[in-house]
Amino acid sequence: MRKAAFILIAAATLVISACGSADSSAPQPPAPVSTAASVAATPAGTPAESPTASAVNVLATTTMLGDVVGQILACAGGTVTVLMPTGTDPHDFSASSDQVAAMVTANLVVANGLGLEAGLTDAFENAAADGAKVFEVGPLVNPIELGAGANEHGEEEAGQEHDSLDPHFWFDMNRMALAAELIGAELADSTGDGAYATCAATTAVNIRTAEAGVRSALDSVPADQRILVTDHEALGYLADTYGYEIAGTVIPSSSTLAEPSSGDLADLVATLKAEGVTAIFANVAQTTSLAEAVAAETGMPIKIIPLYVESLGAPDSPAATYIAMMQANADLIAGGLKG
């Protein structure tokens, strides 16, 4: 099956390069040196313009995108390199020079975009200037504005960043499924191998199917208890999708890089009391000390429940894959609000 697909691609490549030669009077650049893998799989004399599936190398920034890209490549061929280690805060991650160099040699760099990887802006620009192809998928999945799901108080705060879009789109599994399809289409385009689109369609179906479990858990919370207080403005997509309200955030920003003022924290304490909030959903990758201090200030028995917000969990955690992470978060939210 894979061999047959490859022969078709090799034939298509021959046709394309033949047309290219006929159309162009410019001297052709020397053919790139084939890797061992492409020599083994490429019939003699075929230009190595399209990488063989096994040689396709994709670099993904976040662990969530890394998992989804990994599913596509496990099916269609190739290897994924995930830039951010498990447990990393993507708002606060910067790349090493080796990682910037790896962006340039990758067939594709898959990034979240929408400002999530604030520390990688220069790295993306430098790598792109050196020929890297950076594919930011967030802007293509119909992102929502910051402050979605916020109550009246939250909207006032979000108004300051009215034209900002929320980068945390993975909290809506249907948008992540769409992201998988877009990544697959991009890879199919750049490699000439339709298997990337076909495999991405399967990955998207798996995500959409698993979404039913997440919906079931979040729908099990009575409507008047669907009140979220989170560590920063990260759950807008979840609130928007499942009918939850974001009553407040410990850090009043879409980025963990911001710091709350004492006034912000006093406002949050007042909100927690007024809404009778029973749980603050923190972040396993961040310290919970601020959330604990706010909870203590209310004098109410508020639980601090860390969610897997911006990274998968460790391989032995309940959030080792993107789908498992979303189910784990839904179960933690439902358990925290109902219990």
Binding site for Zn ion (CB under 5 A): 234
Tell me how far, at minimum, the Cβ of 229 lies from Zn ion, in Å: 15
Burial environment of residue 29 by CB neighbours within 10 A (0 to 12, 13 to 18, 19 or more) = exposed
- For residue 220, the minimal CB distance to Zn ion (Å) is 26
In contact, 144 and 209? CB cutoff 8 Å: no
What is the three-class DSSP state of 304? strand
Minimum CB distance to Zn ion, residue 88 (Å)? 12
User: Which residue's CB is nearer to Zn ion, number 76 or number 110?
Assistant: 110
DSSP SS3 for 107: coil
CA atoms of 218 and 204, how far apart (whole Å): 21
Nearer Cβ to Zn ion (92/292): 92
The sign of the dihedral angle between the CA atoms of 256, 261, 267, 270 is: positive
| Least Cβ distance, residue 111 to Zn ion (angstroms) | 15
Min separation Cβ 256 and Zn ion, Å:
6
Residue closest to Zn ion, measured at CB:
234
> How many Å apart are CA 107 and CA 287, to the nearest integer?
36
8 A C-beta contact, residue 144 and residue 102: no
Of 51 and 167, CB closest to Zn ion? 167
- Count CA within 13 A, CB hemisphere, residue 133: 11
User: Smallest distance, Å, CB 167 to Zn ion?
Assistant: 7
Nearer to Zn ion, 71 or 254 (CB): 254
- Which amino acid appears at position 263 of this protein? G
**Pairing verdict, β 227-230 and 134-136:** unpaired
Residue among 311, 243, 271 nearest 91 (CA): 311
Q: Which is nearer to Zn ion, 234 or 312 (CB)?
A: 234
Nearer to Zn ion, 73 or 290 (CB): 290
Q: For residue 164, give both structure tokens.
A: 């900002």
